[in-house]
Amino acid sequence: MVSDWSDFLLEVHHDSARLSAADFQVTTLQRIRTHLDFDFAIWGEGDGTSRELHTATVLDQTPTLFETWEPVKHEDPFANLVIGNTGQTWALSEVPRVFHSKAYSEHWGRYHAREMISTMQIDPRTGLHVFVTLARERNQADFSRQERAFKSLVTRHLFLAAQNNDLAAVTSAQGHTALVDRFGVLHASDDRFTALLIEEWGLSARRRLPAAAIEALALHGHYTGHQLELTAEPVGSRWLLQARPVSALPLSPREQQIASAFAAGLSYKQVAQQLSIAPGTVRTHLTRIYEKLGVSDKGALATRVNGRQLPPAS
């Protein structure tokens, strides 16, 4: 039963200031259910053109819900309707012959979604399409006109509250901080973090990290560049990034030459031959280099060296 929406919105905005970014969307969807009954819900965002899903919070349905959507995402008439008409609330039943579509038989029908209502808008910070979808299964009644009006009204406030929650997550963290998704799109960042990004990669990095940085963060949880270091902490389906400026590597000129050559793939003997020194001397230097840089293998050494662009061996 739909109750007073003003109390609901006060609760949501209060949550946006106090809850972590990982908890806010789940808690908000649970709050919606106390006003508007549904079986499962999705709060997500992605690229409306490529249909690439960047983030998704799924309540009371399998977390792998979108795996079966991938093959049919460009043939989903309900997605076409919602993406093509942002700012409004649409129902699955408004799509002609939707229950005979491939997307329904191979995806939504598998999860017994008999009726869904979805509202979408474009996030001005990220350029992504953000949406909230509520679904009822076969034993439930359709969403009433009153329920759809409530959903349409409050969803606009949910998107704003989510933006405030992202900013709160960044401002409450220590250091130079940002909240990014797995594609590197920045959802919120403080000015110091943005300044470091621009110093490292130029103005193009204000909204999205380069692919090399994303790959390193996904594999290792950190990235070392020329001017900054990034560390990533998982926050739901996104990362909370910490950035700090870096100083020059604490290596002597000879250690820099050896580190650069060894990280480039040369063997001990090849480095020794290139630099006209004994292989044992190379091993001794590398032991000190590993200690100074806090690394334990050749791959980690290559990451540190290549990120700093040491002078080439000569």
Q: Where are the domains of the chain?
A: 5-170, 174-245, 253-308
Show the low-confidence residues of the chain (pLDDT under 70).
1-4, 247-248, 306-314
| Residue 247 pLDDT | 61
Based on the number of CB atoms within 10 Å of its own CB, is 299 exposed (0-12), middle (13-18) or buried (19 or more)?
Answer: exposed
| Residue 246 pLDDT | 75
Q: Where are the alpha helices (DSSP H) in the chain?
A: 5-18, 21-33, 77-84, 102-106, 145-172, 191-201, 211-220, 253-263, 268-275, 279-293, 298-308
In DSSP terms, 120 is beta-bridged to: 131
Q: Could you report the per-residue pLDDT of 238-264, keeping only the tens digit for each?
A: 999 999 887 667 788 898 899 989 988
| Architecture label for domain 253-308 | Orthogonal Bundle (1.10)
Q: Work out whether the CA dihedral 116, 121, 125, 127 comes out positive or negative.
A: positive
Instruction: Note whether 5-170 and 253-308 share their fold.
Output: no
CA 82, CA 131: separation in Å to the nearest integer?
Answer: 9
In DSSP terms, 208 is beta-bridged to: 185
Contact 72, 88 (CB under 8 A): no
CA 21, CA 287: separation in Å to the nearest integer?
Answer: 42
| Residue 236 pLDDT | 86
CA 221, CA 215: separation in Å to the nearest integer?
Answer: 9
CB atoms within 10 A of CB 78: 23
The DSSP bridge pattern shows strands 228-235 and 238-245 to be antiparallel
| Residue 248 pLDDT | 63
| Residue 314 pLDDT | 43
Q: Which two tokens stand for residue 50?
A: 């490529």
Contact 180, 158 (CB under 8 A): no
pTM: 0.77
Instruction: Name the CATH topology of 5-170.
Output: Beta-Lactamase (3.30.450)
CA 41, CA 116: separation in Å to the nearest integer?
Answer: 9
Contact 244, 199 (CB under 8 A): no
CA 256, CA 261: separation in Å to the nearest integer?
Answer: 9
| Architecture label for domain 174-245 | 2-Layer Sandwich (3.30)
Q: What is the DSSP letter of 227?
A: S
Report in angstroms the alpha-carbon separations of 162 from 8, 86, 181, 195, 256: 15, 18, 14, 24, 47
| Residue 7 pLDDT | 86
